Amino acid sequence: MKYWNSNRKSCEHVEPREDWKESIELWIDWMEAIGRTEETLRTRWYQIVRFSKIVNKSITDVTEDDLIFYLAGMGTEGRRGVRSCVKVFYQWGMKRGLARCNPTDTFKASWAIHE
């Protein structure tokens, strides 16, 4: 698992679900290969790791309702960033057969970005 600094190695809140680890690692490697900045990699890694922990389901079992529940307590910018992260992660995962559907596909974007 890629860590962004040595302090995070002992922080359970930034460890993904075990069954998400390999997929997250490959996704981060892919984003790095297509030229995403170090800050983007760090942000997206943290967002998808937290999402995996809170949703607490396998990648293939996550639903739109899980995403809505996760985003419900966030402000506008937080929702926008996490929704974008989940959308790109699942687009990538579907192309590689890791997910059957994208929980953001039927999600009303207006709800995600307006309070």
Q: Would you kindly state where each structural domain of the chain is located, as residue ranges?
A: 17-113
pLDDT in tens, 38-84: 999 999 999 999 999 999 999 999 999 999 999 998 998 999 999 99
Matching CATH number, 17-113, of 3.40.50.11540, 3.40.190.10, 2.60.40.1730, 1.10.150.130: 1.10.150.130
Q: What is the pLDDT of residue 21?
A: 95
Quote the pTM value.
0.84
* Three-state SS at 38: helix
User: 5: pLDDT confidence band, cut at 50, 70 and 90?
Assistant: low
Q: What is the pLDDT of residue 106?
A: 82
Average confidence (pLDDT) over 100-110: 80
Residue 113 has pLDDT above 50, yes or no: no
d(CA 34, CA 83): 20
d(CA 83, CA 68): 9
d(CA 24, CA 72): 23
